[in-house]
Amino acid sequence: MARIIRRPKMDPAQRPFMIVWETTQACDLACKHCRAAAQPNLDPNSLNFEEAKNLLNQSAEFGRPSPIFIFTGGDPFKRPDLFELVRYADEIGLAAAVSPSGTPLLNRQNLIRLKEAGTKAISLSIDASNATDHDLFRQVPGSFTRTIEGWKMAREIGLKLQVNTTLTRYNLDDLAKLFGLVQELGAMTWSLFFLVPTGRGQEADEVTPAEYEAVMHFLYDVSKYIPAKTTEGHHYKRVVIQRAILEEKGLPMSDFFQLPPVYRRLTAELDALVAERGLTARPAIRRTPMHINSGNGFVFISHLGEVFPSGFLPVCAGNVKERSLVDIYRDSSVMQALRDPKRLQGRCGLCEFSGICGGSRSRAYAMSGDFLAEEPFCTYEPGSFPFQDEVEAKLAEMRSYSES
């Protein structure tokens, strides 16, 4: 049986798998959930061109294989030097990706310029299967249409594309239709962002912990047809392992998980869509998303140069204007604490899956003020899954190939 747990080949304590830079907080959207509480205009205190190049140089100093470097925002297209910076990143060996917003700046000319500058992939956000609900969420009319047009143009141009969806109580029942849209238009990956109540995001916008669990099982079902992953939904990796073990044993998942009604509704819609379109399951094994977490294979740099474990975890570890990103990432007490599963508290500290999950440190911080507290939106009780020997065998596989 092929290994189902994915983790970086490099030591995540020494180099991140992914670096995300908030190029600017300027954006022409006003999304309800926005982490950055974006605004229309550029902040004059943002990293200037030379400071941004220095950040790219620092990122390249982590060595090969180089981290994936994502230009995000706000809207990166609001930076007039974006294309020069992407080209420079490519020249020094960084794998560059860009995450633009669904505005008039998302046009064919800008997408072609990105590809010519060396961009390997882009990500676009779709939060509903229809224009009315998506535009209400993004709070700008026309955002849905512009994003769909940009999606199609990116694929025509030959850019790899990831589609991001932020899960809230407003689109929970729309997820099956969203899968249908992603499957129809095509994407490299569908990434479901589990809301963290920070910035404009509010705890009242969250679905319940039980519904989180239901959505993760639904996403596992979806992954049979398109590659799927989560952001700030780290316990999805546990669900993948549990479901894989049950499938290996030929056991029905309904005997082991008591999920709320939304799971049955979503899977019924999924089954109907699969039958209507004649979809067949992908031959590739369904594996966990890459095992990275805040400060552990992942790092975020703000438009001001501040270094955070995640864009959703506002605990500053330093500033690239004053100290090398390499040193901050490797030596900061904040980063080191996040890389030590023995320091996790509550159920996360007791959980047999802590080595491949760790919970959302961002959500723990947002809801308790302690980034080492237990994941507040995970329903799993440590040790309750009946096939502990099988779980340990899969975790042992992960440890063996991590050391090799």
Burial class (CB in 10 A: 0-12, 13-18, 19+), 295: buried
Render pLDDT for 12-38 as a digit per residue (tens, 0 to 9).
Answer: 999 999 999 999 988 876 555 555 555
Range list of H helices, 278-387:
325-331, 333-338, 346-350, 361-368
Confidence of residue 291 (pLDDT cuts 50, 70, 90): confident
Residue 27: count other Cβ atoms within 10 Å of its Cβ: 25
What are the beta bridge partners of residue 22? 72
| Residue 245 clears pLDDT 50, i.e. is over it | yes
196: left (phi over 0), alpha (psi -120 to 50) or beta: beta
Render pLDDT for 190-211 as a digit per residue (tens, 0 to 9).
Answer: 999 998 976 655 777 889 999 9
* Overall average pLDDT of the 87-103 stretch: 95
Residues 6+ apart with CB under 8 A from 197: 203, 205, 206, 363, 366, 367
Name the 3-class secondary structure at 166.
strand
CB 317 within 8 A of CB 324: no
Q: What's the pLDDT score for residue 206?
A: 86
DSSP string covering 8-58: -SS-TTTS-SEEEEE--SB-S---TT-TT--BSS--TTS--HHHHHHHHHH
Q: What's the pLDDT score for residue 4?
A: 72
Q: Look up residue 339 and give its two tokens.
A: 């890389």
Name the 3-class secondary structure at 299.
strand
- Percent of the chain residues topping a pLDDT of 70: 93
Distance CA 27, CA 97 (A): 18
**Of 153-162, 192-201, 271-280, where does mean pLDDT reach its minimum?**
192-201
CA 361 to chain centre: 13
**Domains in the chain with CATH codes:** 18-277 (3.20.20.70)
Greater model confidence, 2 or 377: 377
Name the 3-class secondary structure at 161.
strand
User: 59: closest CA among 335, 328, 362, 332?
Assistant: 328
* Overall average pLDDT of the 210-238 stretch: 95
Confidence of residue 402 (pLDDT cuts 50, 70, 90): very low
What are the beta bridge partners of residue 162? 123, 189
**Of 1-10, 342-351, 355-364, where does mean pLDDT reach its minimum?**
1-10
Confidence of residue 285 (pLDDT cuts 50, 70, 90): low
Supply the mean pLDDT for the chain. Answer: 91
Range list of H helices, 61-107:
82-91
| Residue 178 clears pLDDT 70, i.e. is over it | yes
